[in-house]
Amino acid sequence: MNDNDQTLVQRITALEGAARKARLEAIQIAATLLTKETALLAGTRASPNHPDHTADLAALRARYEGLVRVADDAQALIDTLQADEHDRKYHR
């Protein structure tokens, strides 16, 4: 394996780690969103101790959408790099 192949493998590995981290955080945010929205719909946030968290929910949704986009973009780049690696190995 030459230096170029090692660099490509390292880039793929780094991107896979970043995508995995973004997906995990997105899953955690999705769980938080579901919990908060369920509580809001159930009316438990109607009491004075639980004010309306519309801005909080909007921020969580925006963060979730951003993380999903990051994970999708990273996966697309991973797929491209893996295809390039395959082409180099088998279609010289």
pLDDT digits 0-9 by tens, 44-64 = 655 545 556 678 889 999 999
Residues 26, 7: Cα–Cα separation, whole Å:
28
Please compute the mean of the pLDDT values over residues 2-29 and round it to a whole number: 91
pLDDT at residue 46, as a whole number:
53
pLDDT in tens, 18-31: 999 999 999 999 99
- Give alpha helix (H) positions in 1-92: 3-42, 54-90
Confidence of residue 72 (pLDDT cuts 50, 70, 90): very high
pLDDT at residue 48, as a whole number:
47
